[in-house]
Amino acid sequence: MWASTPSTADNGSSDERRIPNERRIPNERRNTNERRNTNEREDGRVDDALILGDELGPRGRRRVQIATAIATVLLAALAVAVVNRFSDKGQLEWDRWSFISEWSIWRFLLRGLRNTLTASLVAMALALVLGALGAAGRLHPARGVRAIAIVLVELLRATPLVLLIYFMGQFVPRYGPELGSYWYLVIGLATYNGAVIAEIFRAGVNSLGVGQREAALAVGFTDGQALRRVLFPQAVRRMVPALVNQLVTLLKDSSLGALVLLPAVDDLLHQGKIVGDFRKSPLQGLLVTAAIYIVVNSALSAVARRLEQRQARRYGRTEHAVGPLAEGGVGLGAPGAIET
């Protein structure tokens, strides 16, 4: 903390309190995870600033004030420059923006948003099923099954999603039923995210520790029952924030359907482009489209953050609680595919 809230300073060792011993993350995962919440406050939020110094004295405060003033001026100048650029090029004229006051345009855009949302949710549902299968395969007692699951999951995760969606758009109609671009998009999203979610589930199961499985086997469960009845239910609950984050990623990725497939999926991006071209204001159409994406995804991200805070209070931090970036299930490919 730089210049504020000395009250958080007594919080230093609270992580020790918050993670009871049996919840500690076992073996290979017990590295960076346990200490992660040292900068966490009572409400589970993590302070941005770390105390790199003591409370600022009069001179330090003065310097911060000067820096603040300079930064404000520079940022204001930047904003003015951007606005000037827009108006110089005639991009601020009402003609170019008037479409945002028309209900029919909004209806058109919202239809795109609806397609984006339904495609994402359907793909997510399928991905959850595939992910559960993939995780079960990777945790299977038979070595052959494990090997197949590992190869499939790692190869899928190492493939660019664009390529996979493009492939589905060519492959499925050629060798299977003609379902239409919407479904090729859904299939592409579902297979890729199934692999990612398989890793999320596996990380969740691993974070439980061997005791749970051993106890289940000891009371006579088979391996499959232990997985279904004991391990998965707990793992899924722990991984809910990571799954919501993955849904945000999936939702963003769904916009690939507008660019990669022919005919294009009429999702939000596609409709936004059409509105822009139709009204001779492509920049404005795309900016409005981006704004809609931001609103929807921010809402989802906020939900994920709330869930993460709740989980952090409940379990201490598991590796996914810091966001899918942290650790991830580090496999051969890339952990935690937050991107795109």
Partner 1 sequence: MDLVWNNLDSYWKGWQNTVLLSLSSFAFALVIGVLLASFRVSPVAPLRALATGYVQLVRNTPLTVHLVILFFGLPKLGLRWSPNVTAIIGLSLYTGAFVGEVVRAGINTVGRGQVEAARSIGLGFGSVLRLVVLPQAIRATVAPLGSLLSALVRNSAIAYTISVLEIMGRADRLVTETARPVPVLIGAALAYYTITLPLGVGINALDRRQRILR
Q: Of 111-170, which residues contact partner 1 (CB under 8 A)? A: 154-155, 158-163, 166-167, 170
Residues 253-272 that bind partner 1 (CB under 8 A): 253, 255-256, 258-260, 269
**Which residue do the tokens 């790692």 mark?**
154
Nearer to partner 1, 127 or 231 (CB): 127
Question: Given candidates 18, 23, 24, 91, which one binds partner 1 under the rule CB under 8 A?
Answer: 91
- Residues within window 184-213 making contact with partner 1, judged by CB under 8 A: none
> Rounded to the nearest whole angstrom, what is the least distance from the CB of residue 340 to partner 1 in the complex?
5
Give whichever of 38 and 234 is closer to partner 1, judged by the CB atom: 38
Of 81, 125, 179, 290, the residue at the interface with partner 1 (CB under 8 A) is 290
**Amino acid letter, 123:** A
In the bound complex, what is the minimum distance in angstroms from residue 217's beta carbon to partner 1? Answer: 30
Binding to partner 1, residues 305-334 (CB under 8 A): 322-323, 325-328, 330-334
**SS3 of 144, please?**
helix
Burial 214-244 (b: 16+ CB within 10 A, else e): eebeeeebebeebbeebbbeebbebbbbbbb
**C-alpha to C-alpha distance for 238 and 311, rounded to whole angstroms:** 7
Q: What is the token pair recorded at 58?
A: 């009069």
Of 173, 301, 178, 189, nearest in space to 256 by CA: 189
For residue 47, the minimal CB distance to partner 1 (Å) is: 8
- Residue 226 Cβ, how far from partner 1 at the closest point, in Å? 28
Q: Which residues pair with 147 in a beta bridge?
A: none
Please state the closest distance from residue 316 (CB atom) to partner 1, in A. 14
Nearer to partner 1, 131 or 336 (CB): 336
Would you say 32 or 98 has its CB closer to partner 1?
Answer: 32
97 lies in the site for partner 1, by CB under 8 A: no
d(CA 65, CA 57): 12
| Cα diameter, the chain | 76
| b/e code 95-131 from CB counts within 10 Å (16+ = b) | ebbebeeeeebbebbeebbebbeebbebbbebbbebb
CB of 40 to partner 1, least distance (A): 9
Nearer to partner 1, 230 or 271 (CB): 271
Work out whether 7 is an interface residue with partner 1 (CB under 8 A): no
My answer on whether omega of the bond before 263 falls inside 30° of 0, hence cis, is yes
DSSP single-letter state for residue 219: T
The span of 99-107, 126-134, 210-218, 246-254 binding partner 1 (CB under 8 A) equals 246-254
Nearer to partner 1, 87 or 222 (CB): 87
DSSP string, 199-243: HHHHHHHHTT-HHHHHHHHHTT--HHHIIIIIIHHHHHHHHHHHH
**Nearest distance from residue 128's CB to partner 1, in Å?**
21
**122/330 with CB nearer partner 1:** 330
Q: Which of 133, 221, 293, 307 binds partner 1 (CB under 8 A)?
A: 293
Q: Which of residues 31-70 bind partner 1 (CB under 8 A)?
A: 31-32, 34-36, 38-39, 46-54, 56, 64, 67-68
Taking CB under 8 A as the criterion, the residue among 104, 174, 177, 220 binding partner 1 is: 174
Q: Which residue type is seen at 130?
A: L
In whole angstroms, how far apart are CA 251 and each of 77, 114, 154, 254, 332?
A: 35, 11, 22, 5, 25
β-bridge mates for residue 40, sequence order: 46
Residue 268's CB is within 10 A of a number of other CB atoms, namely 26
